[in-house]
Amino acid sequence: MAADLQSSPFIKHLASSDKKTRDQALTSLRTFLRGRSEISELDLLKLWKGLFYCLWMQDKPLHQQRLSQSLASLPSALQSPLILPFLRAFWITIAREWSQIEALRLDKYLYLIRQYVHASFQTLAKDGWKDTLAIEEYGRIVGDTALSGTDMKVPNGLRFHVLDVWVDELERVVGEGEGVWEGKLDILNLVMEPVERLAREGKLKVVRQAAKECLEDERLKAWRGEKDEDEEMEDGEEEEWGGIED
């Protein structure tokens, strides 16, 4: 299986300077992945390096967005045993290559990361969030890479961006409203665990604070049925008011 991957030309072609060649390589890759239930971590990392530079070579914002969306659709084409290893390779690659991203190229990678946070939540939610082992494992993957509080090689810029989009993309998957997590608060807690862990264990105060701000998001409070202190005070005042007596 590893030999098949190494002998396939599409990995090299993913980073071609020619858009047509890159597009053809991505199509070949999609076909290749559909037929595999297992690929070694080393080969997945080689593959993701090719995908990273596939986006690197893409210019024009609209084309960049379309490519990022196409890359983020890859997990949906994978067989179940390969999904989490594929996502792990993505996050390892992003954390490793982040410092190489030039300012002019940063926006397209920020967009790719947002798309992958969304795609990951979509994947975990597709069976009604029933696979708690997969949710826990994904939390460990992100908590050991982009949201690691102890690995000082992980750039803070990556941590901050993932924290910025985490609840946004979760909301896009589950929808708005207070009742969307009714009966599933234990699942919501699992989804938020890598952020909780970063808030507890982050070596840098600025990182811990950013994680705490994410956890204080009003949408999380609404999903959990929590009220702000101001709302509680207002409710209390309303209850105490007895009207004007004659």
Contact between residue 62 and residue 122 where contact means Cβ atoms under 8 Å apart: no
Contact between residue 142 and residue 95 where contact means Cβ atoms under 8 Å apart: no
Average pLDDT over residues 153-180: 94
Average pLDDT over residues 196-221: 97
157: three-class secondary structure by DSSP: helix
Burial class (CB in 10 A: 0-12, 13-18, 19+), 24: middle
Single-letter amino acid code for the residue at 53: Y
DSSP 39: -
Structure tokens at 66: 């379309």
Tens-place pLDDT, residues 3-39:
455 546 678 899 899 999 999 999 999 999 999 999 9
Average pLDDT over residues 73-90: 96
% of the chain with per-residue pLDDT over 70:
88
